[in-house]
Amino acid sequence: MISLADFFEINHEIILFAYGLVFFVLGFAIILQVRRSSRLDLARSMRWLAAFGITHGFNEWGELFIPIQAAYLSFSALRILYAIQLLLLAISFFCLFEFGVAVLRPLGHADWLQGLSTGLLITWSIVSFGILLPNAQDHQHWMFTSIALARYFIGFPGGILAAYGLRIHTLQRIKPLNAPQIVRMLQVAGTSLGIYALLSGLVPPPVNFFPGNWLNSETFTNAVGIPPWIFRSLISLVIAVTIIRALEIFNLETERRIEELEQQQIIATVQERLARELHDGALQKVYTAGLLVESACRLAESESEIKTRMQKAIIVLNDAVVDFRRNLAELHADAHSPVESVPELLEQMTSDPRYDTMLNLSFKTNLNDSRNLSPSRTGHLAAIVNEALSNAVRHAQAQNVEILAEDVGEHLEIVIKDDGIGLMDDLKVGYGLRNMRDRARLLNGSIEFTSKKGTIITLKLPWID
């Protein structure tokens, strides 16, 4: 019966391939999942972890594939390949170090670390290729020594810094988002990075200087019975799984931003409805009542008690009108500030951070500033475009939206086209679409909704009401 160490040695190539694959998948998954539009500091830090995963994966695959090339490549060519592999190892540790700096930087804890990893990488390169290589006894001795130095001076501090930084960042920036499962995943990932730093940074190949002459891959295997790269493979799997699961934070962020967008849209719609009801209903009634009381007051006898009371009633009604107008102004306080220039309005909306971080917006127009809409009509136009963009984010799941504004003689035509899922055949018209149609009628215009490889909204309204 073979020993455990012999079993791992026999399956060395398979495990080594899986080891490199885990890191490569980690890096590739981060590249695919991290949102360019994310407002989380973690998103900007993750690019370094992705670079670490990909470069480290290629480094580990070098151990598997370079020996295969020995059958038909010269020794000089093989030395070049091993040098590239060695550089990949150092660069991967450099990326891990930079990840630790990046997650600490938003917290104000990494100012003194700026440039340290670059200095370590440059120093290691000078020592390895400028000093050790010309004076090396043999190629293997140079490789082992350079690997040990990379692990000691870049890999170990980089791994510890990454573990500490991820843990602190999680507690201070991610935990307040109230996503306990993601916090647990990141905490496990941080702990795993710390264990990886110990196994990878302090257990190099055998070298003739301390501590590598005391603790190295051979002494570790003799003491434990299992090669250290087995433990590295297992811990790397834990890191990959926990980090990939924690990437759900970016989906959660997007969902919450869409939810916030929906809430803002609902509030704006309710405010608009209340403003209309106040203006067209209660305000007009109070104003009419005031006119009636004024006319009755003029019929009353001078200095009479009835006239005195009517005059007081007129003052109260006028105050009520002022209060109504102030309330109307407050209801419109958070609305989009209408501007007279239509191109300026649409330009503002396409650069609105609520949308341009979640959609790829493009705007084309042949309009000039000589033909404008009144502020009230511009406000209705802004509300229609705002509703269209909100629907593209919330319901259509669109990635790209094109807005085209054209002057077609006596009319202004605006076409909003997205690449989302389009309109359902059995779609029930909701409040948002009804509101868009109502506003189009208020503008004496028309609006059409077409579903063809996405949704096309065509709004046409006269320049002059």
Average of pLDDT values for 137-145? Answer: 91
Helix (H) or strand (E) run with residue 177 in it: none
pLDDT higher for 303 or 32? 32
The answer for 253, left when phi > 0, alpha when psi is -120 to 50, beta otherwise, is: alpha
Instruction: Say if residue 398's pLDDT is above 60.
Output: yes
What does the mean pLDDT of the chain come to?
85
Please report which confidence band the pLDDT of residue 465 belongs to, taking 50, 70 and 90 as the band edges: low
Instruction: Say if residue 423's pLDDT is above 90.
Output: no
Instruction: Say if residue 336's pLDDT is above 50.
Output: no
Query: Measured between alpha carbons, how far is 251 from 34 in angstroms, rounded to an integer?
Result: 9
Asked if residues 351 and 330 have their Cβ atoms less than 8 Å apart, the reply is: no
pLDDT higher for 129 or 440? 129
Cα 404 → chain centroid: 27
Average of pLDDT values for 82-86? Answer: 95
**What was the pLDDT predicted at 337?**
47
Look-up: residue for tokens 């506003």? 439
247 exposed, middle or buried (CB, 10 Å; 0-12, 13-18, 19+)? Answer: buried
Cut 0.85: pTM above it = no
pLDDT in tens, 249-292: 888 877 777 666 666 666 677 777 777 666 667 767 777 787 77
Nearest partner of 233 among 60, 374, 63, 74, judged by Cα = 60
**What was the pLDDT predicted at 6?**
73
66 exposed, middle or buried (CB, 10 Å; 0-12, 13-18, 19+)? Answer: middle
pLDDT in tens, 146-181: 999 999 999 999 999 999 999 999 999 898 888 899
Nearest partner of 248 among 203, 197, 181, judged by Cα = 181
The values of phi and psi at residue 373, to 5°, are: -105, 160
- Dihedral sign, CA of 339, 343, 344, 347? positive
Please report which confidence band the pLDDT of residue 397 belongs to, taking 50, 70 and 90 as the band edges: confident
Helix (H) or strand (E) run with residue 450 in it: strand 446-451
Min mean pLDDT across 83-97, 188-202, 410-424 is at 410-424
